[in-house]
Structure 1
């Protein structure tokens, strides 16, 4: 099978600067359960969704108003045989404009249909990019995952050495 990384595209009537700033604000469109800086080059942040998904992500490329590339340094899923499926993949956000509109092309490089998590991750990314991030850009409010509260097990983070 040819490599087919997950991609999603949205078009908005906003300036590239607005799209760029929204993308960097992961807490406003992906999850309120993020620790660390998502906006500075070479910084690593920690994301988790309950005990289902935990990962460390590093911003490795930042071209103002044009491109952001994040490297998944470490990843743990509780629902796949290969717990590390996302490890060493990249989250790539490319921003361009045409005819007064701005295009955001998101690619999860390395997330391919052969992955056990692909269907779930495909649906999740569609929601986060095409709905939550789109809404953040267009109406100023996304729908990130709320803080999990009692659903999170800090011992798992220690065990997997994710922080």
Structure 2
């Protein structure tokens, strides 16, 4: 873990069990439509953002009651006007959520995209994307049942 990695923390009204479901089978409600779900470690799921924006494919590394970790095993990030390096920068990176009951009755979720650092060409646009989907959409989904996922 590097302090330069993209990291955020949110507090939600949902239970850790609800968080687990959102991070294994509920992506369409807050991020984008996947081609499957993470039911066991080793499962591979592709997340598409239309032909205009590309896709990322993740493999489940850890699926536990308080931690989800996925490794990007395929990447095609299309960002109009961005350098060609954008396309595969996520390849080999890990996204990690750790969650637990907080003292205030809310669930604390810590998110880190291990490998998404300021040195990457896509850092700014990807950080803004995670802010929109993790900080805003996932939080809204877990607090109210209404997320703001990508729609093609």
1:81 alignment counterpart: 84
Q: Deviating runs (4+, > 4 A) in structure 1? A: none
Could you tell me how far apart the structure 1 residues matched to 2:36 and 2:13 are?
Answer: 30
> Following TM superposition, by how much is the alpha carbon of 1:46 offset from its aligned partner in structure 2, in angstroms?
1.0
Cα distance in 2 for partners of 1:37, 1:15 equals 20
Name structure 2 gaps, 5 residues minimum.
none
Structure 2 distance, partners of 1:111, 1:50, is 22
Within the alignment, does 1:96 sit opposite 2:97 as a pair?
Answer: no
Aligned partner of 2:144 among 125, 132, 139 = 139
* Larger Rg computed on CA atoms: 1
* Deviation per residue, 1:112-159 (Å, 9 max, x gap): 01111111101110010111100110111211111x2xxxxxxxxxxx
Matched with 1:57 is 58
What is the TM-score with the length of structure 2 in the denominator? 0.87
Distance 1:14 1:77, change over 3 A: closer
Q: 2: CA distance between counterparts of 1:14 and 1:67?
A: 15
**Aligned equivalents of 2:47, 2:141: Cα separation in 1:** 19
1:8 CA drift (Å) = 1.4
Does the CA-based 8 Å contact 2:68-2:98 persist in structure 1? yes
* Count of aligned pairs between the two proteins: 144
Unaligned runs of 5+ in 1: 149-163
Corresponding residue of 2:122 = 117
Question: 1:156: which partner in 2?
Answer: none
Aligned alpha-carbon RMSD (Å): 1.5
CA distance in 2, matches of 1:16, 1:3: 25
In structure 1, distance between residues paired with 2:69 and 2:124: 23
TM-score (norm 1): 0.82
